[in-house]
Structure 1
C-alpha cells in the first residue's frame, strides 16, 4: 500500500476527529463587552412573492448603572438574566452544541392578539465549518430544525428552520425558516466590538 496515501488518510481522520470534538457552551455574562453590536437584515416572502416582513434588527451591549445589558428595539435586559444557565432539554439551543447532537425543541407561546400556539421541532447539529454572511466569514454550527407549528385558531404547518450559530459572536449569523411556502431569512450584516 502507498505510504503517502496512508499518511494522508490518517491525517484526514485526525482532522475530522478533532473537528467533531469541538463543543460550544452557553455564553456567560463575562463573554460580552460594552459596545458590542450586531445588526441583521431580515425579509419574509410568501409563495406569491408578497413581502410580509422586511427591515433590520439591532442588538447592542450597553452599561446601565454599572451593569451590562442587551439593548434591543423592545428595550434592555440585564445580561445576567439573559445568560442565566439554561439546562432545558427542549430549548432552541441545547448546550453544549457539537456535531451530531440531537434534541427536541419545544416552544409554547402567545401572540399579542391572544392566539396561543406551539412549535415542536426535531433539532440536529449537522456541521461546524466556515460560513460566509454579509458581515464576514465565521466558524458556525449548522443546526437543522424540522417539525410543526400549530395555534389555537386551527393553523397547522410543517416547518423547516436552519440556524447558523457562531460561538465567537454568541449568536446566530443566519437563519432560514420555511413554513407552507413562506420563506423568512435573517442574516448578520454587521458586527462590531
Structure 2
C-alpha cells in the first residue's frame, strides 16, 4: 500500500503549474518557474479504521543544479525539471491543462512497484473550486481537485477510493492530499515551502 502511495505521489510531483490569479486559469509551468534552493516539505500519515498506522513521516523535495541542469530531488533520485514540465501526452492525464474550476476528465494510471506488483487506477476527476486554503505551511490560493474511482493491483487488492488534492499554483504543487479507501485514510500536508530571496 505504501509503495502504491509513493508511486502515485511521485507521478503527481512530476506535474506543476503557473496561474493567472485574476482569471483562475492555470497553465502548465515552464523551466523558468523553478529556482535552485526551492524546497517543499510534507508530513504524511496513513491509518486504517482499526487504528493501525501504516505510514508516518516526512517527504522533502528540493531544486538543485547538477552540471548546470536544474533537477528536483525525489528520494535518492534527481529528476530533471525539463521532464517535470514536459507536457503529458495522455488521453487520461493526472492534470488536464489548463486547470479551471468546473473542468472534468478521466484519469487512468498503470504502474509497477519496486517489488514487481502491477496496478491500475481509474478515476473521474473534477475541479471543484479555486479559493484560499490554509495548511501548516501557510495560506495559499488552491484548486480543490476530486478524484473518485477504483484502484486494483496484481496481488488481489481492489478498493473504491476518493482523493481530494489541494493544488496551489504559487508553490507549483499540492499543499494537501486526503485519500480515503474505505478502511484506510491517508493524509499528506505541506508543512514548509521556501525559495531563495
Name the TM-score, length of structure 2 as normaliser. Answer: 0.85
Partner of 2:86: 84
The alignment's C-alpha RMSD in Å is 1.6
Are 1:58 and 2:60 counterparts?
yes
Please give the residue correspondences for 1:1-193 in structure 2 after superposition, counting only pairs within 5 Å.
21-193=23-195
Q: Decide whether the 8 Å contact of 1:89 with 1:103 is kept in 2.
A: no
Cα distance in 2, alignment partners of residues 99 and 41 from structure 1: 27
Give unmatched runs, 5+ long, in structure 1: 1-17
**Shift in Å, 1:20:** 9.2
Cα distance in 1, alignment partners of residues 35 and 21 from structure 2: 28
Q: Which has the larger radius of gyration?
A: 1
> What is the number of equivalent residue pairs in this alignment?
176
Q: Deviations over 1:153-183 (max 9, x none)?
A: 2221100000000011100000000113200
Q: 1:183 to 1:59 in 2, by over 3 A?
A: same
Name the TM-score, length of structure 1 as normaliser. Answer: 0.87
Q: Deviations over 1:12-45 (max 9, x none)?
A: xxxxxx9894211112111001100000000000
Give unmatched runs, 5+ long, in structure 2: 1-19
Structure 1 runs, 4 residues or longer, greater than 3 Å off: 18-21
